[in-house]
Structure formats: structure tokens, C-alpha cells
Structure 1
């Protein structure tokens, strides 16, 4: 069975799925087997796409007008197609840059395999550049990574709260916007300052 998916980004009426619908119907898809979304391709949890994925069964083929209608993030596309392949579902792209993709054929699988290899290569390059950047920053006396969310004001509030037996640590961390790990790196379970906590207050 052929099942079609359509998507446009704007919901203000300036964009319609008419062109996509015509293309999918011309490809032989029954109108009752069409799903659509009015949402950005960067959003993975789209109602129409979720229902479409649920409707697909082994032996079916998901058909899209263009590859970017399925999603704009390459990694999301790769993961989606791997999910479909694992379920025995094919993917066919009618037009655009991904028109050579038809995972129900050997040639289409080869093209998609190249896409997947390029995505993996891109991930490795990003990882290498990140590690190189951190090493360079450390060599210049700077530390990389996300800054701690603990501040002197939050630390004082935590000290006062942890001195009370009724304080619930999980709730306290949520209110302060920090993790348990960050909290206990600065304070002991009884609210006493640890080296990181003393260092933070001494900076003032």
C-alpha cells in the first residue's frame, strides 16, 4: 500500500498542500491514505507524521513529494528511514534533490546509504572540531563546556533550605534550576559548604 505525507510550514493560509497533494494522487495514492501537517520541518513530533507512521505496515511505502517535506534535519531523516526500513516499510521521494531515493529498489537503497554515510561523516567532523576547540581553549587557559548554573544567590538559598528537615532536594533543585550533581558539588547533604561552594562565594 502507498501512503502519502504532505507538509507546509505556515498555518496562516499563505502556503497550501495542493501541489503536493496533486503529485501524490498522480503517483497512485488513495486520497484516504494521505496525511498532512502545517508545521516546521524542524519539529519531529508532528501530529500528521505521527499518525502516518502509525498507519504504515510491513510492505507499505511512504511517499513524499520532496524529501524536505519529511523533515529539514538530515539526522532526523536518517533515523526516520532507518526506522521505516527496520519495519519493512519503503520510502519514495517523487521530486527534488532526493528524487533518486526509493528504498524499495536496490539503486534507491544505495543512494540513501550514501546520504547516511555523509551524515555520519558530518557528525565525526563536528565532534573532531569540538574536541580541537576545547583543547585549544585549555591551552590558552580557558575551560570549555557549559557553564555551571549555580550562582552565589542560588547557593545561599540552597544553604538556608538544606538546613531545614522538611526540605525536599528534588523540589529544591527544580526551583533553583540546577541538577542534584551541581547542588552536591557545592554543598553537603546537611548544607555545609564544599570546596566549590567556598570558591564561588570567595569570588564575590
Structure 2
């Protein structure tokens, strides 16, 4: 049996745990079409009851259910998972880092070592400033679905530390309210507030305190980053990619254009010295952009000088009195 067939049958087993609100079949049976035969795919309202399938567009009926054949009741629904035993703890793990160059493996290892199955650990590389985090939303949806399906179990939403959830105090407080509303419990493995936290319990004030600390830490990181960028700019170091057209290339273009050559004739002789396109010829748009910026830079001092001359030539009675002194000072 192929992996695809295994997946289809697994999806079908999960779907058939529920009755269908559209065709009315009981748990353990495939869906029924309008003509009375076995439907080729399960009805959407049915498989959306399964958290991990809620965002799919379709769940096909396996071949052994006889799609297109006369419908007959199926077998009883599969046995409930072992984790549905009363009093069991079910953990959903979430790992996050902000930048693509940062690593997630240490968080994943910690969550796995805590006993969370790999298929219940969700991870992504995304900033907390981005409000919509797909894997985070998927993990929460799965936790809500499990709690709804097994209300007698304790469902824990587990992260390595608080800042993996976010660094905004209001957002973290809203998350605590969301967990409380759905009967979920938050668990952190490290950081200032390790352990299991019940958002509705007496630890709510402590959680709010550390949420505010997380927001303060983010603002400190932001301020330190901006100060570092300002210090580098004062030293002449600017971030971003190096310019495609450097000063030597621009000087060559200006000199040869003055000699009567066109930009198209000059371009094949220009070589990009650094960056991803090192050794290639620059594009015409890059050359024209560099020429326009050069002309703008040359025109600015001339415009300022002309403005000074215009102010100096104006008769005193034509200059508004509050600006008279400033204009004369500027002209001088």
C-alpha cells in the first residue's frame, strides 16, 4: 500500500468518527450521495470536525468503501486514541524564531524530549510583529479540536519559553484569555515562568507581569539596534546591498558620454565589482538611475545658490517683516 493510500485511509478513519450533518449517515460509515450511492468524497461539514483536516478542500473516499457503489452502513467507528483516556495530558508543541538565519532545532529537541510527538509539534520562522502566523494558528486550532473531542483530557499548549509566543503584553494577555475560553493550559519549558500555567488560576497576575517584561525586552532590542545603525551611519557604514554603479563606473560613463558615446555602447565595458551579480554587466536602468541621481546631486547646490541670490535681490519692502532678518542673514 502506498503512502498516499495510507493517508487517505487515515483521513477516512478520522472523518468517520463523526456523523454527517448533510447526508445523515452514522459514525463508521462513508458519506452517501444524493442518488443513494457511496459518495466519492466526504462532505465538507463532516471532515471539518477533524482539526487536522479542517483546512483541506476535500477528503476522498478510499477504494475499499466502494465509491459509486450502492450505499450500505459501515463498520462501527474506530476505537478512540489512547490519549483520550480520562485524565490524560495531551501536549501540542510550538516553536518559533524571528529570522531565517536563526535555528529552531534546539526548541524542537526540547519539545520532543518533553514527550511531544513530532506530528504534534508546529514550527515556523516568522517575526512576532507579523500578526498572522500560520503554524501558530494551526497549532491552536488542533489544540481546540482535541479539547472539543476529548473534554475529559487536559490539553497543554507547550512552548520553549514565553517570548516564542510573542513580545507584546496585550497580545499575550489576549492569548491567555483565548486559552481560558477553550479550556486549554499553557506550558513553558524555560524562561522566567517555567512550568504549567492555568490562565484562569491565581498565576494570571504573574503571567501579566512577565508579558510586560517580554514587551520591554523587545523595545530594548529595537532601541539598541537603531542606536547601532545610527552609529554605523555616522562612520559612513550603511546597510543594504552595495550600489551596482560605483563612483569609478559612474566616472567612466560620464567621461565617455561627454565624448559622444551612448549608454548602450558603454554598458558592455562596465563590470559589477561586488555582490550577487559580481562579474556581470549592469542593466541600462541601473546606469540611467545612477546618472539621474548624479544630476540631482549636482543641481541641488546650484538651486540653493540661486535661492540665496534671489533673496538678496528682493527689495526690503517685499520681504515679510518676520522673515526679513533671516533672509538677509541667509543671503550673506
- Report the TM-score when normalising by structure 1: 0.51
Q: Which has the higher contact order (CA 8 A, sep 6+)?
A: 1
**Equivalence map 1:1-204=2 (5 Å):** 1-11=90-100, 14-57=101-144, 58=147, 59-100=154-195, 102-103=197-198, 109-116=201-208
What are structure 2's unaligned runs of at least 5 residues? Answer: 1-89, 148-153, 213-332
CA distance in 2, matches of 1:40, 1:25: 23
CA distance in 2, matches of 1:49, 1:111: 23
Q: Which residue of 2 aligns with 1:188?
A: none
Cα-to-partner distance string for 1:83-122 (whole Å, 9 max, x where unaligned): 0111011100110112155228x9xx323333337879xx
What is the DSSP-based 3-state SS (H/G/I as helix, E as strand, rest coil) of the residue aligned with 1:110? Answer: coil
What is the DSSP-based 3-state SS (H/G/I as helix, E as strand, rest coil) of the residue aligned with 2:183? Answer: coil
Which of the pair has more CA radius of gyration?
Answer: 2
CA offset at residue 43 of structure 1?
A: 2.0
CA distance in 2, matches of 1:118, 1:9: 20
CA distance in 2, matches of 1:53, 1:62: 8
Task: Flag the 1:119–1:6 CA change in 2: closer, same or farther, 3 A.
Answer: closer
CA distance in 2, matches of 1:112, 1:95: 18
What are structure 1's unaligned runs of at least 5 residues? Answer: 121-204
Residues 60 and 90 in structure 1, CA contact (< 8 A), matched pair in contact too: yes
CA distance in 2, matches of 1:93, 1:118: 12
CA offset at residue 72 of structure 1?
A: 0.9
Paired residue total: 115
**Runs of 4+ deviating beyond 2 Å:** 109-120
Residues 71 and 77 in structure 1, CA contact (< 8 A), matched pair in contact too: yes
CA distance in 2, matches of 1:113, 1:49: 24
Q: Superposition RMSD on alpha carbons, in Å?
A: 2.3
Residues 156 and 185 in structure 2, CA contact (< 8 A), matched pair in contact too: yes
CA offset at residue 48 of structure 1?
A: 0.7
CA offset at residue 27 of structure 1?
A: 1.0
CA offset at residue 53 of structure 1?
A: 1.0
